[in-house]
Amino acid sequence: MASYMDEPDAGKRILGRCDELGRISEPGEGVTRLYLTPQHRTAAETLVRWMGEAGMDAHIDEVGNVVGRYHSQAGGGPYLITGSHMDSVINAGRYDGPLGVITSLDCVAALNARGKRLPFGIEVVAFGDEEGTRFRTTLAGSRAITGQYGDDLLNAKDDTGLTLRDALSAFGLDPARIPEAARDPNDVIGYVELHIEQGPVLQAKNLPVGVVTAISGQTRAMVQVKGSANHAGTVPMGMRKDPLLAASEIALAVERIASSHDNTVGTVGFIKAEPGLINVIPGSVSFSIDLRSQKDEVRKAAFAEVEKAVQEIASKRGVTATVEVILDLKSCPCAPDFVSRLQAAATSTGSEPILLPSGAGHDGMAMSQLSGIGMIFVRCKDGISHSPEESVTAGDVAAGASTLLHFIENFQGNR
Q: Which residues bind Mn ion (CB under 5 A)?
A: 96-97
Helical ranges in 114-205 per DSSP H: 140-145, 151-154, 164-170, 201-204
**Nearer Cβ to Mn ion (140/189):** 140
Distance CA 415, CA 188 (A): 8
Task: Give me the least distance between CB of 225 and ligand HGY, in Å please.
Answer: 24
Q: Which does 364 bind (CB under 5 to 8 A by kind): Mn ion, ligand HGY, none?
A: none
CA-based nearest residue to 321, from 271, 218, 235, 250: 250
Task: Give me the least distance between CB of 141 and Mn ion, in Å please.
Answer: 12
Q: Are 374 and 212 a contacting pair, CB within 8 Å?
A: yes
**Nearer Cβ to ligand HGY (61/129):** 129
Phi, psi dihedral angles at 55 (to 5 degrees): 85, 20
CA-based nearest residue to 129, from 227, 43, 253, 1: 43
**Nearer Cβ to ligand HGY (121/361):** 361
**Nearer Cβ to ligand HGY (128/361):** 361
Task: Give me the least distance between CB of 81 and ligand HGY, in Å please.
Answer: 18
Which of residues 212, 244, 258, 360 is near ligand HGY by CB under 6 A? 360
**Nearer Cβ to Mn ion (72/146):** 146
Q: Could you tell me which residues are beta bridge partners of residue 157?
A: 163
Task: Give me the least distance between CB of 270 and ligand HGY, in Å please.
Answer: 13
**Nearer Cβ to ligand HGY (101/360):** 360
Which of residues 93, 98, 141, 361 is near ligand HGY by CB under 6 A? 361
**Nearer Cβ to Mn ion (71/379):** 379
Q: Which does 178 bind (CB under 5 to 8 A by kind): Mn ion, ligand HGY, none?
A: none
Q: Which does 390 bind (CB under 5 to 8 A by kind): ligand HGY, Mn ion, none?
A: none
- Check the CA dihedral 312-316-318-319 and report its sign: negative
Q: Could you tell me which residues are beta bridge partners of residue 194?
A: 376
Q: How many CA atoms lie within 13 A of 247 on its CB side?
A: 27
Task: Give me the least distance between CB of 325 and ligand HGY, in Å please.
Answer: 16
Helical ranges in 83-221 per DSSP H: 98-113, 140-145, 151-154, 164-170, 201-204
Give yes or no for residue 193 binding ligand HGY (CB under 6 A): no
How far is CA 343 from each of CA 124, 368, 407, rounded to the nearest angstrom?
22, 19, 9
Distance CA 68, CA 64 (A): 13
3-state secondary structure 373-395: EEEEEECCHHHCCCCCCCCCCHH
**Nearer Cβ to ligand HGY (317/362):** 362
Task: Give me the least distance between CB of 100 and Mn ion, in Å please.
Answer: 8
Phi, psi dihedral angles at 99 (to 5 degrees): -60, -40
Task: Give me the least distance between CB of 153 and Mn ion, in Å please.
Answer: 18
Task: Give me the least distance between CB of 360 and ligand HGY, in Å please.
Answer: 4
* Count of other CB atoms within 10 angstroms of residue 177: 12
Q: Which does 142 bind (CB under 5 to 8 A by kind): Mn ion, ligand HGY, none?
A: none
Q: Which does 361 bind (CB under 5 to 8 A by kind): ligand HGY, Mn ion, none?
A: ligand HGY
- Segment 105-144, which members bind ligand HGY (CB under 6 A)? 130-131, 138
Q: Which residues bind ligand HGY (CB under 6 A)?
A: 130-131, 138, 360-361
